[in-house]
Every structure is written in structure tokens, then in C-alpha cells.
Amino acid sequence: MRFPSPIRFLADRRGNVAMMYALMLPVLIFGAGFAIDYTHAMQIQTKLDAAADAAVLAGLTPSMMQLTGAAGNTAAQTAVTNLFNAEAAAIPSLAQPLNPPTVNVCKPTACASGTRTITLTYSDANQNMFSGILGAATLPVTGSSTATASNAPNINFYLLLDNSPSMALPATSTGIATMEGLTPAQTAMQHTATSATAGCAFACHQYQGNANNGDTAGNPCLNGATYTTPSQSAKGWDGNTYKNVYCGSGQGTQIDNYALAKYNNIPLRLDYISTAISDMMTAATNAQQAAVGTRPDYEFAAYTMDTSWQIGMVNTTSVTSSSTPSNLLMKMTTNSGYVSAWQTANPNLSVMQYYANNEQCGSAACNTNGGGGDWATDLDGVLTTMNSTTIMPNPGNGTNVAGDKPQAVLFIITDGVSDVLATSCASESTQSGGTGGKVRCYQPINVSLCQAIQNRGIRIAILYTDYLPVTVDTWYNTYIGTSLNVNPPTNSEIATQLQACASPGLFYDAGVDSSNLGADLVSLFNSAVATANLTQ
């Protein structure tokens, strides 16, 4: 028998992979086992985190918040501890005995009157299934949760409602298409269209006595309560001839596009805002009635961005004289009177009226021409005026402590497009041709003005009613849709700036369909009055 040479034996490498695998197999098995143990421990920690969140909130329920002082804090501490211990005891893999959690109520910093902050910290261990062989019987699981709450505070709400002409757009894409289909003869108006039959989507509100012009061409004629189809031919805005577009003898006057939308039951964005506020006030009543103990006081005031016939905030204090333009739609109500007050004020919420396209009204009756210009969304001027202490006094903490004042929340409902005439502007889109050498600026909201309001302790809640695309309108395409990236789904500038303007958690985008603004506004209201929240 011949034996292999020792040198040849040492040089032979056949079978080395199997040997190396055999040597490494225990390491691989224990590595996989440790990964399983670690994953399981993290799952248990997630469960304990959820238990900690639930526990701290249990000490902040309305009934718990009615227990005040040291006795109330002790009761809350007991409730939090008991709930967490019960949740942890239901997890069989936790090493026994469980460590008691550390629960601090209003420590180390004392809580303000009517406020309670609770922190729970836990530190336990989860039993390993594999790693114990290597001497690691458990893995630590630690975490904490903090929540704060206060008794429902007294709040004054200030509603700032956009009633500029852009809010007279239909609330849905279907409504826009319907309006365009009803107004093919109006393609010659200054808001020129991309096709000869495109029509006008804007439900512009103009002086009815100023009828038979290019802005109302083709609309029905109204004589008393009788509507008829126009029977007279005449020239349109740019000299093009249209047939049967104007009212003839005895037909009365031609209705404007605002009346046309109403006549055809086309809901406008402003219509849905009106009903949404009613829904919000119903929610406010329900929130007050659901409060345990002392019910909070809620009071409301409502303002429009334009007066019924004049641009901007001209006068904010009087609604008694028709000769005095006013943005005050509803004076600050009493705690229980806001529902009935809104029912009275609601019919007066309407889009700003014009004498004709690009011509403002010269008086409240709007039977005289007040001059050129339809730049009717001066967000900068409106926010500056609203920030006056005569409109929104400095707020307090909303407690019932003697001398304290209600908190304050400014609700802004708008499409977010500032449209203003100025000597200069840092806007994304400008249009020349303004009077006095000024330019027309189209730009997002000025966040610094929002910050000035918030610096006074007034929170800002914003409901964004998206500016629906009107792509057959060259004015919209040039100055709004493309320049401001307002077309869904981008909304890159308008929505971003509005969200930056709003207080944390108080921005809501209604989306391209504004028909559900009521639910949106109720959600925003509930966020504004929420009193208990997890902070970490």
C-alpha cells in the first residue's frame, strides 16, 4: 500500500468549504438567533410604548382633569401606573418581576392652573429565546411617553373669509365646465379664452343695470321675475359680431354670471364656505356640551377680505350704514349666540360686486363707475389690518381665573392667491398696465405677516380651498396656473406658503373638490380646540 506524500497531503484543498462551514455553523446559528431575539425585543418595546401612551392619556381624561391640586395629581399618577402595569403584565415574554414605571405628574416643573403634564418612563427586559445559551438571557426594553392637557379653554374665534372674485369660481371641476358651456359668447371679454367657444368659468358679480355688454353676452334676460333668451344682435367686446346675445326691447336686463350660476344651481366656492361655517358652529355647540365640568366659552366674529363692493379692508367696525363699506360680517357673539348670529349674517356673505369687468363700483349701490382694476385679494393689507388690537385684542390663557382673557384663533378660508396692485413686489408673477405706474402682483401669502399675528399668542388655522384649474382661460394660464404652480397636484407654492402661515397642526387642504368643506372645517376646528396631546 502506498501512502500519499505528506507534501501532497498538505497541498490538497479539496473539501475545505465544508470544513469551514462546519466550523462557522454555530456562529451563524447564534447570529440568526440573536437577530430574532433583537427583533422580538423591539416588537415588545413598541407594545410598551403604546401602553405608555395610553397610560399617560388616561391621567388626562376630562373626568381626571376635574380633580385638581395635589389630590388630583395623585389620582392621575395612580391611574397611569395601574393602566401601564396591567398592559405590561399581559406580555408573557417580559422578565419577572417587572420594574415599576416612574410616573411624574407636574414634575419637576409645576403645572399652570388648569393644566397637567404627565411623564411615564419604563425600563424592563425581554427574555431571549436563543441568546441565553451565550449568557445573554434578556435584552433591555426602555422608553418614555409625555402628554399634556388642560381644561377646555375659553376661545374667541375670528373668521376671515375670502370673498374676492376668484371665490366665485364653481366649487367643482364639473361646475367649471358647466359655466364655460353656458357662456360661449363671452370669449371676447378681457379674460381671453384659448378657443372661440370656451366661455367664462368665473361667476362674476356685476351691476345688473349695466347690462348688454361683453361680460354678460349670451346670458338670459330678466324682466321682473321672467327670464327670456336674448333676441338682439350686437357687437361684442372686441368688435366680433355675435348673434342673439343681447336683450331686445321689453326683455329687461341681462343677468351677470353670478346670477347665471345661481339660476343654473351651480354651487360656488363661497356657497360651500357659508354652509361649512354653519357645520363648524354646530360642532362648537357639541364640543361645549360634551365638556365635563365647567364648559368653555366660545365666541365668534366674522370678517370678509373685501367689502361687498370695494377692495380690501376699508372699515372693520360698522355694519349699520349702507354708505360705509365694512368688512365686519358678524360682530363678536356671546357664548351661546353664535349659531343664531350666523344665521342672520349668513345671507350677507357674497362675492364682491363690480360695476363691470375691471371696473369697481363707485358706491354701495354700485350704480356708478368707480374706476379700473379688479385686483381684489390684498392678503398683505388684510392680515396687517386684522392684526390690530382693536379687531383682535391680545389673548389670554383661556382659564376662568379672575383677570384672564380667552385664547384667540384666527380662521382663514382662502384660495391663497394674493392679487394686489403695487409699485413693486417680490411676486412670482406680475402683470403690467396698472394705473400710476404700478404693477399687478400675483403671489402667495406673506408668511412674515402670519408670524407677526402668532407672536401675539394668536393661533392661525387655515382652510385652503384649492384654486381649481381654468385652463381654457389665457389669463389664468399666464398668471396663476403656470407661474404659481397652482394646478393640482403640484400646489407647490400656494399650499406650501399657506401651511407655513398656519400654526402647527392647523392647516387643511380641501383638495380640488370643495363640496365637503363642512367636514374639513369641523376637523380643523376640532384640532384647534384639542386640549390633550402627546408631546413625545
pLDDT digits (tens, 9 = 90+) for 341-363: 999 999 999 888 888 877 888 88
- CA 382 to each of CA 158, 303, 450, 468, 508: distance values in angstroms, whole numbers, following the listed order: 13, 10, 11, 23, 21
HEC profile of 35-71: HHHHHHHHHHHHHHHHHHHHHHHHCCCHHHHCCCHHH
Tens digit of each residue's pLDDT (9 = 90 or more) over 84-137: 999 999 898 899 999 999 999 998 778 877 788 999 999 999 988 776 666 678
Report the C-alpha gap between 487 and 478 in whole angstroms.
12
**What pLDDT, in 10s, does the model give residues 447-462?**
999 999 999 999 999 9
The domain that holds 350 is classified in CATH as 3.40.50.410
**Quick one: 392 and 434 in the same domain?**
yes
Higher pLDDT, 491 or 350: 350
| 346 and 413, same domain (yes or no) | yes
pTM metric for this prediction? 0.72
Do residue 294 and residue 239 come from a single domain?
no
195 and 134 belong to one structural domain: no
> Do 107 and 226 fall into the same domain?
no
Number of domains in the chain: 3
**Interval 45-86: pLDDT, tens:** 989 999 999 999 888 876 787 787 888 899 999 999 999 999
194 and 159 fall within a common domain: no
pLDDT digits (tens, 9 = 90+) for 370-404: 877 777 788 888 999 999 999 999 999 888 878 88
160 and 238 in a single domain? The answer is no
Q: Which helix (H) or strand (E) holds 479?
A: none
Say yes or no: 197 and 167 in one domain: no
Work out the pLDDT band at 469, boundaries 50, 70, 90: confident
Instruction: Give me the chain's average pLDDT, please.
Output: 81
Residue 183 has what pLDDT? 86
Other Cβ atoms less than 10 A from the Cβ of 351: the count is: 27
How far apart CA 396 and CA 393 sit, in angstroms, is 9
Looking at the structure, tell me whether residues 112 and 192 fall in a common domain.
Answer: no
Please indicate, yes or no, whether residues 465 and 393 belong to a single structural domain of this protein.
Answer: yes
What average pLDDT does range 463-468 have in this prediction?
Answer: 83
**Final residue belonging to a domain, choices 119, 150, 181:** 150
**pLDDT for position 114:** 72
Residue partners of 102: CB distance under 8 A and separation at least 6: 120, 121, 122
How is the beta sheet containing 138-150 ordered, strand by strand?
Answer: 102-105, 115-127, 138-150, 532-534
Contact assessment for residue 88 and residue 98, using Cβ atoms and an 8 Å cutoff: yes
pLDDT > 90: percent of the chain: 33
Q: d(Cα 129, Cα 70) in Å, to the nearest integer?
A: 45
| pLDDT score, position 247 | 86
Q: Is 231 exposed, middle or buried (0-12, 13-18, 19+ CB in 10 A)?
A: middle
- Rounded to whole angstroms, the Cα distance separating 437 from 429 reads 17
Q: How far is the CA of 514 from the CAs of 108, 181, 500, 511, in angstroms?
A: 47, 21, 22, 7
435 CB-near residues (< 8 Å, 6+ apart): 371, 372, 373, 421
- Burial of 427 (C-beta count, 10 Å sphere; 0-12/13-18/19+): buried
In a domain, 318, yes or no: yes
Would you state the pLDDT for residue 322?
Answer: 56
- Same domain flag for 316 and 389: yes
Residue at which a domain ends, from 116, 150, 184: 150
Residue 195's identity, in one-letter code, is: S
> What domain range includes position 407?
155-172+268-531
**Cell triple for residue 98?**
417587572
